[in-house]
Structure 1
Amino acid sequence: MILTLGLVSALQTGLIGAFAGYYLSESLYDEIGQRALMVAKTVAASPAVIAGIQQRDITRLNDLAGRLASTNEALFIVIGDHNGIRLAHPDPGRIGHSMADDDGDYGERALQDGDAYVALARGSLGNSMRGKAPVTDLVGGEIVGIVSVGYGVDQVEARIQRYNLVLYGVVGVMLLFSVLAAIAIAARFKRAIFGLEPEQIARLFEEQAATLQSVREGIIAINREGVITTVNRTALETLGLQPDTPMVGRPLQEVLPESDLQSVLETGIPDFDREVWLHGRQMIVNRLPVRQGNEIIGVVASFRLRDEVDQVSRQLTRIRQYADTLRSQTHEYSNKLHTIAGLIQLGANEEALALIGSEVSDHQALLHLLLDAVPDPVIAGCLLGKYNRAREMGLKLEIDPGSQMADLPPQLPRDQLVSVLGNLLDNALEATRRHHGEGGTVHLSMTDLGQELIFEVDDQGAGVPESLHDHIFEKGVSTKPGEQHGIGLFLVQQFINRWGGSVTVEKLQPAGSRFTLYLPKTPQQEATV
């Protein structure tokens, strides 16, 4: 950049300097020529000169020409008669000879045509700018002679050299200033681009573009005017737009009128994990303002479909539930096997058989209930795992013998229902253990009669305070101490919103809470927010 700007500045100042020098030279030559012509006309109109020519008074004319040349700083003043014969000349030896001896021009235009003109010629006194004017008789108007006034070209060139020195100095200062300005601009520009060279910027741009397209989340960025500057392929797919839809350079409100990015641009407050609707799709959006110093210059938003987030959450929940089930069963049966082995070693065979029978009968009764009431294996497996989990915690999970959950709609996602039931039962078990300790009971009742699926979960915990009844399903709200809570019931509420059901909470006496879940057998469309 420094080299380019320096060369451009040098070329510009050089051209300007050359043009100025040429124009100055031409102007000076023209000025000297006009001055010579003016002096020639003035001398030619002098009565003393006219009289001297008519009387051929050579002495008087030479004296007069010398004084006038000195007064006007001319190189010479030559006076001739009507034939171009010199009557006055700085060199006495040239007097009486034709003026054509110098340059072949004896003043024909002036003597014959009466014209006054300027000519550049080399004579006996060197190169000079000459002004020639005819001398006219005052009475009859007849041309009686000619006056030639010359200014030496050396004088003109000396003045041009003086002017050129000044001009070249100005050009040099301009060139130096241009180079310093180029250095300052380049330094400031380099600071603005973090000290990177153009090749590095191009490489980083390509890497950023590739990274942007490889991200599985949709990304849209806008500038301070609300115009889209960046968008990746995933964003178009997530919004249901065609891959070739032009987005960059268009106002955001024109493409996504329901977007609220403009508010982040105005307030500068970031927004994380917010649920919004865009193009009829519910998404999880993160929005972050882009700052340059203390100024907000744009906003970047990343988003993905909420179904994808929920799916990952449900998968993790199921894996955790399966792991808890296996761990509790392994722990419980390991203890029982050790007990049975000890009884056999002690010879207490009857007691060992009674323990085995009791264990078998409890599980057989639960399995028969689940097989009769809940034919769906996914939900039955979840309840069996929670039953074992309760026993590991020193609690008891009772399932109402009159429960029935066979009429499950086929479109109801089983993994989501398992996640909801699992969260309700986990909360009930933890609340019961915290408040009641070992020996506490959690009661589950299910029915599919009518047009709704109804699940009731009763615990023996401290109960949900009435002040939290309207907020317990909000994200981050929990009755558990510490942080990292308030997610399970929030996911329950999200599923209910999508399916169109409802959930209630009430306080039991003397202690405990009842959560009742209502799910319509026919899903309802959630309203757009």
Structure 2
Amino acid sequence: MILTLGCVSAVQTILIGVFAGYYLSDSLFDEIGQRALMVSKTVAAAPSVIEGVQQRDIDELNRLATRMTLTNEALFIVIGDHYGIRLAHPTADRIGRSMADDDGDWGLRALKEGEAYVARAKGSLGESMRGKAPVIDPDSGDIIGIVSVGYGVDQVDAIIKRYSFVLYSVVGLTLLVSIFIAMVIAGRFKRAIFGLEPEEIARLFQERDATLQSVREGIIAINRDGVITTFNRTALETLGIDPETPLSGKPILDVLPESDLLSVLESGVPDFDREVWLRNRQMIVNRLPVRQGTDIIGVVASFRLRDEVDQVSRQLTRIQQYADTLRSQTHEYSNKLHTIAGLIQIEAYDDALNLIGSEVSDHQALIHLLLDAVPDPVIAGCLLGKYNRAREMGLRLHIDSESRMTDIPPDLPRDQLVSVLGNLIDNALEATRQHTGAGGIVQLSMTDLGHELIFEVQDQGPGIPEDARQRIFEKGVSTKPGAEHGYGLHLVRQFLNHWGGSITVDDLPGEGSRFTLYLPKKAKGRNHQ
């Protein structure tokens, strides 16, 4: 690691140094060129120079050129006429010769095009950065001469060497500091990994991954920023997520908006065996903060679906309900058929027809009501089954003809809604039968107007004492005798807590109770746990 970090730092430092040196050199040459150009323009615009060129006063022009050369610390200032013939030059024997001797014809572009420019060239005084500008007659606007100002490349090289020494000294010092930092980082890293070698770390990682995948509970871990760092296949299966979905690096709230892992991250308080809803599934969750010293650096959660026995029990209960419905329908229609057969045998044909018509009429009316008011086949089927169940018990389930339940949110699980509604109706039927016997009535009304789904179930039972109205929703608490009761309303309350709903219990005038269920249509009103 020391060699790697040292080499990387060396390469980076050297590249930066080379680039800085090149950039410094290029910038200085550009700056010197611009300076030569500015001086040449200034000299070309000086009235004394313009007058000297007009009068071809060589002595005066050479005196001016010498003074301006010293003032501007230039290598030379050369002045020529409109033919490019030198009128002023630091070397006397060059006066009267063409400036093209050094620069060629391109060096006289200022005379031909009236353009000031910068060039790098080698002349009689050595290589230099030159600025050339035309001398223009202010009265006529004609080009009457040219000024060339040069700064020696040796001057620029001296400046570059002076700065380069400082630059490369800093580069060398930076390299040494980088190597020292690499040694410090390597030492700290070795202590952080408990002195393990890379091969040992790889082996431990493989063992950890195998252990993680072998656990039959879902496991998800987040870091201090709430980002998922670890998960296993069971977590994906339990949550119903596509196994190919990459969870690492995603914020936990993007995957599980209802998760409470962030609250555990903030409080540092572990949470064990808590029943929650995740992705519309009821889970048993354990959450444990991960600490490094006194700091909380993450949270690990393990979770599983509620006891498989409970799941099997609920499935068996639903199957039993379907079986009871079929049995009640079979029993009821068997009785009806026997009655009709008897009426036919005694030749009471009109009574038989009336009984058949009444039977068909009642069922047709109920079916038409359900088709119009409850288009959802799952809920309609549940209500039809409960209607037949009530008739078998000698009771009557009356569904309000003004009921309407057509605007059910698509994300509301129908099986859970049916389970809740079925529990309420079953409780009402049982309470009515025990209190009134045959002939009792259980009334159901539904509405989806407004922002909520409202179900109202009214029985003719003995009523519920006020001090027991909240306790009946606790697990194992029931007004019925026997240890097998006390779970239906508990499941109702759990469903409502998850979906942000509520339920009220009221005593009716005389005898009986009314359970009113409220479910919000919008997901934002739900209270995820």
State TM-score, norm by structure 2.
Answer: 0.46
State TM-score, norm by structure 1.
Answer: 0.46
Structure with larger Rg: 1
